[in-house]
Structure 1
Amino acid sequence: MMTTEILHISSITAYHKLKGLKSPLHPLLSIVDFNDMQQEYKSTGKMTFGFYCVALKDLINGAMKYGLQEYDFKDGVLAFLAPHQNMSVEVNDGSQLKHKGKMLLMHPDFIYKTGLASKMKSYDFFEYHLNEALHLSDREQQLINDLLNQIELELQNNIDSHSHNVIISQIDLLLTYSARFYERQFHTRRKVHHDVLEKFEILLRESFENKLLNPGIPTVKQIADDLNLSPNYLSRLLKTLTNKSTQEHIHETIISRAKLQLANTPLSVSEISYALGFEHPQSFGKLFKRKTEMTPLEYRQSFN
């Protein structure tokens, strides 16, 4: 049985020690080859890291787990973990865990006060669930592997005044390519994603049609959880398919339903705002004005 306790590994040096690896060449950055790790049996247990992780991985006989969900990564993927996300790897048949590939470990302090630090929020795939990992083509996998090798080579070189900037640039390039490849994945898996879009539209509609079961205004996180997706991944997917984020879809639905009621019912603005899930009519009024450049009453009066 896998322990329910979550092991937090705060430093890259501690991770190396746990996995039976030599001390890292740099305390805040490392490239790890899975072949060099101590092989584990059954599972790794649940872990969180105090650093970023970018793993180019093939699992030969294991499955990565995120929460209660299990995902088969045998075809080779690029997975991203931000600090303090939890993950585990488990082998269901109890045999020795076998995996191959390389992993970049980067502590946030390594990029402190650099341009890359300010860009990390734009690389929102670090907040994706593991089931949303990037599936690479052979060419893409080779390119990422080459970049990891270049970073490792730079770490092995004698340190000079340019070393840090060179590595920062290489990591930024790796993440920029990853963003490009995610764009490709969103487009090439359109059938799967259109199915998600259809489910999203149904969930959004139902959340407004049954306020007894769904009180309040639906949040991005609530809808993403119902679809078993991370909020960031869902918003990026919707942006690709519809050019609107999840929040924009929610607001659009609110405004559309509000317009119908303002034009076709005698309900007051307050009654309409409560029916839509707002706690305060003022919040509804501000959103309506921001989206339509009219107050709810002005919109209603435009029909008279």
Structure 2
Amino acid sequence: MREIPKRSISEFNSKLKLKGFNVFQIEADGNATKVYSRKDFYKICLTTGKSKIHYSDRSFEAEGTILFFGNPHVPYSWETLSTEYVGYTCLFSEEFWNASPRAESLQNSPLFKLGGTPILEISAEQRDFLNSLFERMINEQQSDYQFKDDLIRDYINLILHESLKLEPSKNYDQKKSAAERLTSVFLELLERQFPIESPEQPLSLRTPAEFANSLAVHTNYLNRVVKQVTGKTTSQHISERITTEAKAILTNTSWNTADVAYALGFEYPTYFNNFFKKQTGNSPTMLRK
């Protein structure tokens, strides 16, 4: 197996972070797929070969063609067991997905949600059709078409709808722990507050303590199980989601900074400015410019 220089891996990650989307053929960039370790992005893989996937506290063994859906909120790892391994990988950020006004919450999707069905077995006929969708995304990614991002999101949507028609893999261990159930409810409760349509309807839950109170559990317990299941703290999930919403509001509305701050649960605009700069490296004003 050839080695990919560290610089190439870094460039690959930087390119993905910049655009919020990347799709590539595994046989053409196989090692990049195996060494890619960031979990900041949703992932769809169509692969043929023998592998073992560890998803949260469950494992799945596959020999054939499968479709895998990776959620950045759920820890997972992938072992390639065969010498021949081909297919496609699509990676996209939540911001890329939410740029569409018709976007539905990925956290609520049976394919991506915690405790859902992230692994599907694919027939030869289904593989040919899905191959064509990944090829189209690759072609669009390289094109100069003005609305290619919208078109790529449509292809992802088509993959999701085709996948929902399929039966979940019978080799997948579907047991769900109490920690996963609580984490799932927390993430859904967090996501349910978005998008924010008006400054007059600010966030009702913003701190780990407020979420814990709503879920009738101790704050320390909620923090512990969320960290155990997702690898991120409760505060990290809340801050990341608020940052994503802040960017969307600043980009797509003319609300002043005070309105944005109030809508996102900040008592003073200066608190929001400091938070946003810490999370993104830029001030809200700089983002708009």
- Structure 1 length normalisation: TM-score? 0.47
- Structure 2 length normalisation: TM-score? 0.49
Pick 1 or 2: higher relative contact order, CA cutoff 8 A, min separation 6: 2
